[in-house]
Amino acid sequence: MVSNEIKMNQSLLKRNHPLAVIDAQRRVLESDAAVPAFGERLAAANLHPLTATGIETFQINVGKMCNQVCKHCHVDAGPDRTEIMTRETMELCLAALDQTDAQVVDLTGGAPEMNPDFRWLVDQIVARGRRVIDRSNLTILVAQGYEDMCQFLADRNVEVTASLPYYLESQTDAQRGDHVFERSIRALKNLNAVGYGMPDSGLTLNLVYNPTGAFLPPKQAGIEADYKRELRRRHGIEFNSLYTITNIPISRFLDFLIESGNYGPYMQKLSNAYNPEAAKQVMCRTTISIGWDGQLYDCDFNQMLEITVGNGLPTHVRDFDAAALARREICIGNHCYGCTAGSGSSCTGAVADH
């Protein structure tokens, strides 16, 4: 039996957990007879095969190293993960970016700021006139050695999209670890101090809400109003928008679902809430996802399940074919229910009314 304290401080990989083997996660998802195959739901709405409509966003995972071990993490990131994107692979990503008209480069991890070449990569993207999004866990911004990161991001007009599970300490720390909320609030105040989220600054600060349990997120507009009111009242914090993102049943969140006996009910909940209008607008249709080792994926979730782009397309960024990838058929699975339930879910929050 692994103690809860160890679980909160080690990745599945470090614990030699069975689900650290990606094939084991796939088997769980593929063997779930409680819900119809996701492809059947797409076919019923004349959406199968699901195809890309272009490449508007480059999402680059620069590594799985993180200073936190969050229990919902679909990356299984943590301090014990050593996978990190090299500068050579970053140069291949930039060469691929130059083949496209994509205006957004979405940097994620782990904690992307922990990659030693993070600042170099940001400068290279900014020099190309593309918009950079930094997906920050907030606490890294107040960690030793990163004290000037807020100013670095502000000087380059990097958009910050930051995870904050709730505006109250107890819920946030329950999901992300002791004292995470307090450090997150300090980081948000530092971001506000350099202009992020402030009127007329031009510096965008968005927050991300993930449910803390086996349920779907509430309506985005309503909880955004709650966050804005409570963070302003309690801490004097300002931000631009709140994104609600559904937890996808993979990696550590899958482990939580199975351990708590919620896997079947959660999958049924996702399936029952399937929304074809959300399926039409899923992020994979306009995004290409690049792993820390240069492998190509339809989305960040397929990346974590190691489902590379299919149908004979190049699977590594060194062989990038912009025209073919822009019209590719998307690889799907039952985990895709997470992006199409209710109002839908993407890296920029809800995608449809429901």
- pLDDT tens digits for the chain (354 residues)? 344 444 557 899 999 999 999 999 999 998 877 899 999 999 999 999 999 999 999 999 999 999 999 888 999 999 999 999 999 999 999 999 999 999 999 999 999 999 999 999 999 999 999 999 999 999 999 999 999 999 999 999 999 999 998 898 888 877 777 889 999 999 999 999 999 999 999 999 999 998 888 999 999 999 999 999 999 999 999 999 999 999 999 999 999 999 999 999 999 999 999 999 999 999 999 999 999 999 999 999 999 999 999 989 999 999 999 999 999 999 999 999 999 999 999 888 888 864
Q: For 327, which DSSP code?
A: T
Torsion angle in degrees (nearest 10) through CA of 255, 259, 260, 264: 70
Query: In sequence order, what DSSP letters do the residues of 156-221 get, joined into one string?
Result: TT-EEEEE-S-SSHHHHHHHH-TTHHHHHHHHHHHHHHTTTT-TTS---EEEEE--SSSS----HH
Q: State how far the alpha carbon of 342 is from the alpha carbons of 211, 299, 320, 345, in Å.
A: 14, 19, 34, 8
Whole-number pLDDT of residue 114: 98
Q: For 51, which DSSP code?
A: B
Whole-number pLDDT of residue 4: 45
CA–CA distance, 10 with 190 (Å, rounded to integer):
28
CA–CA distance, 298 with 282 (Å, rounded to integer):
11
Helix/strand/coil percent split, the chain, to 5: 40, 15, 45
Whole-number pLDDT of residue 1: 37
- How many CB atoms within 10 Å of residue 4? 9
Query: What are the structural domains of the chain?
Result: 4-340 (3.20.20)
CA–CA distance, 55 with 122 (Å, rounded to integer):
19
Torsion angle in degrees (nearest 10) through CA of 21, 25, 27, 33: 170
Whole-number pLDDT of residue 8: 56
Rounded to 5°, the CA angle 76-217-285 comes to 70
Is pTM beyond 0.75 here?
yes
Whole-number pLDDT of residue 353: 65
